[in-house]
Amino acid sequence: MTDPYTAAAASATRLAALTGRDSHDIAVVLGSGWAPAADAIGPPEAVVPLAELGGFPEPTVPGHVPAVRSVRAGSRRVLVFLGRAHLYEGHEPGTVVHGVRTAIAAGCRVIVLTNAAGGIRRGLQPGQPVLISDHVNLTGQSPVAGVPPPDGYPSRFTDLSQAYSANLRAVARAADPSLEEGVYAALVGPHYETPAEIRMLAAAGADLVGMSTALETIAARHLGAEVLGLSLVTNLAAGLSDQPLDHAEVVAAGQSAAQRMGSLLAEILPRLL
């Protein structure tokens, strides 16, 4: 992908043709096992296989579906991506954030990023949704590294002092006052962390840990979109319980909470703009 911005614009043009909608307002990226939550957000007006848009790889991870839905949530038009690409699948950062860049090229000014996460902070429990207040990017990668963006795009020196919108978090808490907030640590994976690594992350201020989201947030903020991050705690992080970590259980936890998470998103989305 020599010019990821041109590629995203081309994907957005195909998306408009296939959905019959010139633009959308909000994009939601669903994490591992969250695909059933899409039904609770609303009935799709169009479903587009990502392969028809260009630039999207075939997923290799259970719980991620290679399709995007066009949904109406109140007066908002919402793109719901039923999965995402990850660095650990062997992809470049530009590929990982292609969905976010496509959504912004399609008109989205708000990006809602969801994920399955391990809980680090004491008191967080499996099945609990947590708003992301900030992140620690430990992937060693950035979607704005490398060749500078083409003319007409913002500088690659992206300000992340407000990576996750305080205003959007306030809207989410108004919809569900029980929501807690936490700092998300992003690692490459696909292996889970060691107990020593979890102790390190806790000392660094992380409350949650996962293998996505941070690069997508950087890409969204670079292009001026606001970001709302929402983690579902699917397991306690390594060393915090006697249970072994298993991706099948992560997906199962996401699926069991999908209806609740979808209902929460359906409540939040119409309020975000």
Task: Give the residue numbers spanning the domain of 159.
Answer: 4-271
Give the residue-averaged pLDDT of 252-266.
81
- Alpha helices by DSSP H, listed for 98-246, are 98-105, 166-175, 195-203, 214-222
Residues classed as catalytic: 32, 64, 86, 88-89, 116, 211-212, 235, 247
Q: What is the pLDDT of residues 150-201, one digit of tens each?
A: 999 999 999 999 999 999 999 999 999 999 999 999 999 999 999 999 999 9
Q: Contact at 8 Å (CB) between 88 and 99? A: no
Average pLDDT rounded to a whole number, residues 53-62: 89
Tokens of 20: 């019959």
Report the CATH number that the domain containing residue 11 is assigned in CATH: 3.40.50.1580
**pLDDT in the model for residue 162:** 97
Q: How far apart are CA 213 and CA 183, in angstroms?
A: 12
What share of the chain has pLDDT > 90, as a percent? Answer: 76
Closest CA to 272 of 230, 221, 231, 227: 227
| pLDDT at residue 135, as a whole number | 98
Give the tokens for residue 205.
């201020």
244 Cβ contact partners less than 8 Å away, ≥ 6 residues apart: none
Structure pTM? 0.94
What pLDDT, on a 0 to 100 scale, did the predictor assign at position 33? 73
**Residue 60: what pLDDT?**
86
Does the pLDDT of residue 1 top 70, yes or no? no
If we measure between CA atoms, which residue out of 159, 213, 158, 143 comes closest to residue 184?
213
**pLDDT beyond 60 at 13:** yes
Mean pLDDT of the chain: 93
The per-residue pLDDT for 273 is 76
The predicted pLDDT at position 101 comes to 98
* Strand positions, DSSP E, 59-211: 67-73, 76-81, 110-119, 129-137, 180-186, 208-210
> How much is the pLDDT for 210?
97
Decide if 200 contacts 107 (C-beta within 8 A): no
Contact 133, 207 (CB under 8 A): no
Q: Which of 130-139, 150-159, 177-186, 237-246 has the lowest mean pLDDT?
A: 237-246
3-state secondary structure of 244: coil
pLDDT digits (tens, 9 = 90+) for 91-119: 999 999 999 999 999 999 999 999 999 99
With cut-offs at 50, 70 and 90, classify the pLDDT of residue 242: confident
Does residue 5 register a pLDDT over 60?
yes
Residue 28 identity (one-letter amino acid): V
Structural domain count of the chain: 1
Closest to 32 in 3D by CA, of 99, 82, 68: 82
Q: Say how many residues make up the chain.
A: 273
For residue 252, is pLDDT > 80? no
Distance (Å, rounded) from C-alpha 70 to C-alpha 46? 5
